[in-house]
Amino acid sequence: MGIGVVTLVHFLGCRHGKEGSRRVGHSVNLHLLGENVRLYAEEHGNVYPTSEKWCDLLVEWSGGHIRNALRYPGGERNGCPYALNPHADFSGPPDVVLLFESKTGWNQFGGPELLTTENHGGRGCFVAFADGHVEFVTAAEIPRLKWMNEETSLLDIQNARRPGDSADTEYWLENMISYHRFTTDEVCAATGLTADEVVRAQKRLGIRPDSRPVGGEGTPLLILPYPGGRHPRIGFLEGAVEPQRETKFSVFTPWDPNSYVVVDVPEAIWSNLGLTYLAHKHIDTIWTKQGVELPKLEWNRRADGSLDIERTLPNGIAFGVKAAPTKEAVRMEMWLRNGTGQRLTDLRVQNCVMPRMAAGFASQTNENKVLTNPYVACRSEDGKRWIITAWENCQRPWGNEQCPCFHSDPKFPDLEPGQTHRLHGWLSFYEGDDIQAEFARIEATGWRQE
């Protein structure tokens, strides 16, 4: 290594106390890490360490000298309490977030969904910026953090949906800020509102990242419509142009209220007619070839926490989805009705689970997936937790390491004119090391017949 590792000695006097020592420790650690990430980039073509291996790469590059800065101050917890922003650019603006406090893990990377204020009693957290300086950012200031270059589009603003009225504004701002922990820029991308409109509405309504209610023990899993504005993928973004939000919902994990997976159902439907439906603009469907634009829809939000939606295509084919959360799983149902005058065949469906926003599940690999038809399970980086999905009549279990995502894709039987068929789906979480036994336990619930 040509440039020596930056070191910093900071005397933690007794006057700080335990909490003060931790506070100073986080600041010192992030100073060290920020400087060393930049030095690493200078030696590697002005490119930061690979996001999914940044801790490992820094330790190796420094000869182990940086390891202490990757630990919780005082050694009170195992793991690294910091995460890297994968959108930071070495040659980009100086005020973009580079590193920030997160829950403990290793090689963690992502955005505000991983950021935590718990180390400082909810008052805020330390953030290292791209120019190397570190600040304590208060909870009120967190939504104003910049996570990527201004010229880098989060999503095409033409895909934004402006709230219809004040109640709609309150719902979506709470959905985005309190639950999905969106930044102001991400809310703007999802709603088309200006930053000033978002900040003023947020202040008027008292909506904060830490203002979401906490469910009690035994409550069902939390599912919410996914609002768009933040891409649920890491890679293969060219394969999800202008993604529709009406097919996507978020399922929040039972072990971390800020982690969630995005389920896209249906992402695509094929038939003997061709690509009959697609939830984004990547390749032509039978409708885009005709210049037909499908109307934008929204999930119906029910009082019991369930979501449902249905769509009728221009040729009379109709489909719908219901997602109902329970304590142990999200039970899904998809139906398809042949409203045409001809027999429909080859009715294949693609349903996608994207775990990018769940801490520890963002690795771009298929090595962490187990496929036992109809079950597909994705393992966390520490090997302790799993996300599981399954669909009745699964014809293709698979994963895409680029996104990353995983699928249990079903096939409907051939349908005569006027005929409707229903298929059932499952999504759950598991903590343990015997995934095959968990598959057997799930199978014993009889979820396919419900």
DSSP code string of 188-249:
HHHH---HHHHHHHHHHHT--TT-S--PPTTPPPPEEE---SS-S-SS-GGGSSS--GGGEE
Give the C-alpha separation, 90 to 325, whole Å: 42
E-assigned strand segments in 211-289: 223-225, 248-252, 260-271, 274-278
Parallel, antiparallel or unpaired: strands 260-271 and 347-354: antiparallel
Whole-prediction pTM value? 0.73
Residue 418 is predicted with a pLDDT of 98
Among the listed residues 283, 308, 286, the one whose alpha carbon sits nearest the alpha carbon of residue 298: 308
Block residue for tokens 């947020």: 202
3-state secondary structure of 34: helix
Please, how many CA atoms are within 13 Å of residue 418, restricted to the half-sphere of its CB? 0
Residue 158 is predicted with a pLDDT of 57
Residue 178: Cβ-neighbour burial (10 angstroms; 0-12, 13-18, 19+): middle
Q: What is the pLDDT of residues 265-319, one digit of tens each?
A: 999 999 999 999 999 988 999 999 999 989 999 999 999 999 999 999 999 999 9
Residue 282 is predicted with a pLDDT of 81
**What are the residue ranges in the chain where pLDDT is below 50?**
1-16, 151-155
Strand partners, 426: 331, 390
Contact between 260 and 250 (Cβ < 8 Å):
yes
Strand partners, 73: none
Residue 408 is predicted with a pLDDT of 98
Residue 23 is predicted with a pLDDT of 79
Give the C-alpha separation, 290 to 364, whole Å: 36
Between the alpha carbon of residue 169 and those of residues 162, 258, 406, the distances in Å are 8, 21, 33
Contact between 148 and 230 (Cβ < 8 Å):
no
Residue 9 is predicted with a pLDDT of 36
Question: What does residue 138 show for φ and ψ, rounded to 5 degrees?
Answer: -70, 160
How many angstroms from the chain centroid is the CA of residue 393? 27
Q: Where are the alpha helices (DSSP H) in 326-427?
A: none
Give the C-alpha separation, 261 to 363, whole Å: 14
Q: Which amino acid is at 89?
A: D
Residues in the chain: 450
Among the listed residues 350, 333, 286, the one whose alpha carbon sits nearest the alpha carbon of residue 450: 333
Residue 109 is predicted with a pLDDT of 84
Give the C-alpha separation, 366 to 355, whole Å: 13
Residue 88 is predicted with a pLDDT of 85
